[in-house]
Amino acid sequence: MADNDVPDTERVSATFATLQNELAGRLGGFEPEQDFRIDTWQRPAGGGGDTRVLADGEIFERAGVNYSRVFGNELPAAASNRRPDLTGRSFTAVGVSVVAHPRNPYVPTAHANVRFFVAHAPDKTPVWWFGGGFDLTPYYPFLSDVLAWHRAAQATCDAFDDSLYPRFKTWCDDYFYLPHRGETRGVGGLFFDDFNELGFDACLKFAQAIGDTFARAFSGIVKRRKNTAYDQRERDFQCLRRGRYVEFNLVYDRGTLFGLQSQGRTESILMSMPPLAAWQYDHRPEPGSPEAMLIEEYLKPQDWLDIDGTQIQP
């Protein structure tokens, strides 16, 4: 095994802790009158984390940045069901996740995470991988924002390997999908898992680049849209669409399932939920409305980089 393929959990932990600080600083910069609540917690079965939540801000109704490092004697089902070859191994998992639920319906919800797993067994080579990505969930989308989001994702991937963006973009479309609704959660981005093909050093740098790209791309969207005027109609629709976000997180999201199954801190795991959401029986947007356009034109997989955005207004 080459030196750069030897996993270094301490390096990952230090890098991810720095990334948490940077992400919290970026989001907190939009809320000079608000402070993050910081909770440091321990997991009974081993390890713990640092949860930072900003609530009731002018821009963000809720924004949170989590760091965790947990370990145990056996992988939870959320991980071992996908990798039955690792059943019975001890593990360490390190991760950073960020979710932002803006108040203004014209600013999308955004999510990112990076994570590292290493599984051990006596007299066997450690098995390790990285995972993560970022995705965007608009309510009243701007095509220019969507194109900028995907161009940033492509540029980050291409700096490491130009085969990564098409793979991870498709994986994101497939993963953030609600089959019972027949729609994607948003307009996608990147998603990857079981990733170790570049070697440890490059994979760690790639995970860090994912966090950095998310911070830059999302901050740009927030700056452009945070002062857009809205009324109760847009606010009501935002809450309805947030309900779909909740459905995905509670039914399908692997990170939520892993956290709950591994006896992580419940409040930290469910920090990703919006503070307000709604469900309306058999809701159907008015044909031709902006609400209908979101569902009909945006919530389906498509090659955003094939769209000519040169004539699009910012």
Domains of the chain and any CATH numbers: 3-306 (3.40.1500.10)
Q: What is the average pLDDT across 15-29? A: 97
Q: Residue 243: what pLDDT?
A: 97
Q: What is the average pLDDT across 50-69? A: 96
Among the options 101, 111, 120, 150, which is catalytic?
111
Q: How many Cβ atoms sit within 10 Å of the Cβ of residue 180?
A: 9
Query: Distance (Å, rounded) from C-alpha 212 to C-alpha 203?
Result: 14
For residue 131, give the H/E element and its range.
strand 127-137
Query: Distance (Å, rounded) from C-alpha 47 to C-alpha 159?
Result: 34
Residue 135's closest CA among 185, 85, 60? Answer: 185
pLDDT digits (tens, 9 = 90+) for 287-299: 999 999 999 999 9
Confidence of residue 2 (pLDDT cuts 50, 70, 90): very low
Q: Residue 72: what pLDDT?
A: 87
Backbone angles phi, psi at 191, to 5 degrees: -150, 135
In the chain, pLDDT over 90 holds for what percent of residues?
80
Map tokens 């000519």 to a residue: 308
Q: Residue 50: what pLDDT?
A: 95
User: Is 111 known to be catalytic?
Assistant: yes
DSSP, residue by residue, 195-212: E-TT-HHHHHHHHHHHHH
Tokens of 196: 């170790």
Tokens of 28: 């907190």
DSSP, residue by residue, 257-290: HHHHHTT--HHHHGGGS-S-----TT--PPTTSH
Q: How many Cβ atoms sit within 10 Å of the Cβ of residue 251?
A: 12
Say what the pTM is: 0.92
Query: Which amino acid type is present at position 292?
Result: A
- The answer to whether residue 79 scores a pLDDT higher than 90 is no
pLDDT digits (tens, 9 = 90+) for 194-235: 999 999 999 999 999 999 999 999 999 999 999 999 999 999
